[in-house]
Structure 1
Amino acid sequence: MFIRNERSIKEFMQSYPVVSTIVIINLALWLLINFLQLPIGLLFRDWAIGYNLYIAAGQYWRLITPVFLHGDIMHVLFNSFSLVLFGPALEQMLGKFKFIIAYLSVGIIGNIATYLFEPLQYVHLGASGSIYGLFGIYVFMMLFRKELIDSGSSQMIKTIVIIGLIMTFLRPNTNIFAHLGGFVGGLLIALLILKNVHAYNPWQRRRYDMDDDSIQFNPNRWNKKRILPAKLKQNLPWIIIGILALFGLLSRFF
């Protein structure tokens, strides 16, 4: 479920438009606010960042808008890369609308937990609550809907969740309540959103790329030396993002 084998970024975007759109929004806002530091970007940050004092004053949109804001480059890359890995299977299984509802709902629950348990002066941003919410949905599958998730994916989720929850308490400057709130929120909403859902089908995303009555023939099928560089070139952006995200993860641990 979590091994990305799309042949190009274009194919990924066609197959998983919601995940792709969220990642583009995350990166675009980071560029506007943190890299280019344009006045309109800084103005949006001040309007959208999570600030408990302003939420208490009635600015309730700040319970959702922080999900699309990030701090440094590793913060946005790590969260976006996590979404690229763990979001596609759920987007296919749930459908576009239910996936959007799930992603935003767990993010809101995480931010509500932050508001309830952190002081009024607390300021926060990031999509971690939503990412942990997705983990919560997968854990629900592992416990109650085992037919929806294979054993290999279950082991991967179990390992990542355990490490993630441990690091939540060990790593400084972490929004603990967003992580825990999002995770619990994922467990809670999974009971509703997983109704009438079928297991992930890795072949479904390629239906648009195949003709029912045509014979597919690759004239270069024997030329293995040419195929490998082509695949490497197509997936080079994913490789770069993955390496940067890995360095970001390691820097957070050490």
Structure 2
Amino acid sequence: MFVRNESFRSFISLYPIVSALTAIQILLWLVFQFELASIELLIGQLIGYNFGVANGEWWRLVTPIFMHQGFTHLLFNSISLILFAPGLERMLGKIRFIFLYLGSGIIGNLGTYFLGSEEYYHLGASGAIFGLFGTYLYIYFYRKELMSRSNSQMIVTIIVISLIMTFAGANTNILAHIFGLIGGFTLSPIVLSKKSGRPF
């Protein structure tokens, strides 16, 4: 389930949404490497900024999901997306997967807005990725038939390690991680219908 053995072309064909999300965040990171005044201005308008949200810049709840600060940040989140998202895209279908991913990311950013300081800046897909973890956690507790025991044990271990790293790491948006996890768990009954998906 969490081991990818598809060819590059097969992966894109099987998981077009995951592929598109990964490509978008890589492309944006590459564009933002150009130190041009216009690009710097654009970055300033797209990153998460609580003061901006408070003043009606609502798009800042969405756009940070696709942006990353450094290569390591981008690499970690891209690998996480490639490893953990395909199973849910296959299970939920394109529309429900997009709803889950963006919804979790937005909930994570809302948590950051309501509980973070007004001056707080942030960016990254981590809140949305933790939303995927939240759905796996929901499956573990309430839809056990959708996931094998070995995969269940593996994902719970990964979630625990990720939460420990959240609190141990520096410059981590803890609120986005926690509320993204809660968001994914909360949205799961909506995206996981009784007839939802194939077990893995």
Contact residue 148 and residue 199 of structure 2 kept, 8 A: no
Match of 1:4 in 2: 4
RMSD: 1.2
Q: Mapping of 1:138-153 within 5 angstroms?
A: 138-153=136-151
Q: How many pairs are equivalent?
A: 199
| 1:151 aligned partner, one-letter code | R
Larger-Rg structure: 1
Q: Within 2, Cα distance between the matches of 1:27 and 1:200?
A: 31
| 2:28 aligned partner, one-letter code | L
Q: Within 1, Cα distance between the matches of 2:41 and 2:89?
A: 32
For residue 39 of structure 1, report the CA deviation from its aligned partner. Answer: 4.5
Match of 2:17 in 1: 18
Contact residue 49 and residue 122 of structure 2 kept, 8 A: yes
Superposition misfits of 4+ residues, deviation over 4 angstroms: none
In structure 2, the residue corresponding to 1:37 is in which secondary structure? coil
For residue 40 of structure 1, report the CA deviation from its aligned partner. Answer: 4.6
**Structure 2 residue runs without a partner (length 5+):** none
For residue 18 of structure 1, report the CA deviation from its aligned partner. Answer: 0.3
In structure 1, the residue corresponding to 2:85 is in which secondary structure? helix
Match of 2:46 in 1: 48
Q: Within 1, Cα distance between the matches of 2:35 and 2:188?
A: 38
Match of 1:30 in 2: 29
Deviations 1:101-151 (A, max 9, x none): 110000000000000111000000000000100000000000000000111
Contact residue 83 and residue 131 of structure 1 kept, 8 A: yes
Q: Which of 56, 59, 70 is the aligned partner of 1:58?
A: 56
Q: Within 1, Cα distance between the matches of 2:82 and 2:131?
A: 15
Contact residue 53 and residue 61 of structure 2 kept, 8 A: yes
Q: Mapping of 1:184-223 within 5 angstroms?
A: 184-195=182-193, 196-200=195-199
Q: Percent identity?
A: 48
Q: Within 2, Cα distance between the matches of 1:152 and 1:36?
A: 45
Q: TM-score, normalising length from structure 1?
A: 0.76
Match of 2:69 in 1: 71
Q: Within 1, Cα distance between the matches of 2:118 and 2:174?
A: 16
Q: Which of 94, 99, 102 is the aligned partner of 1:101?
A: 99
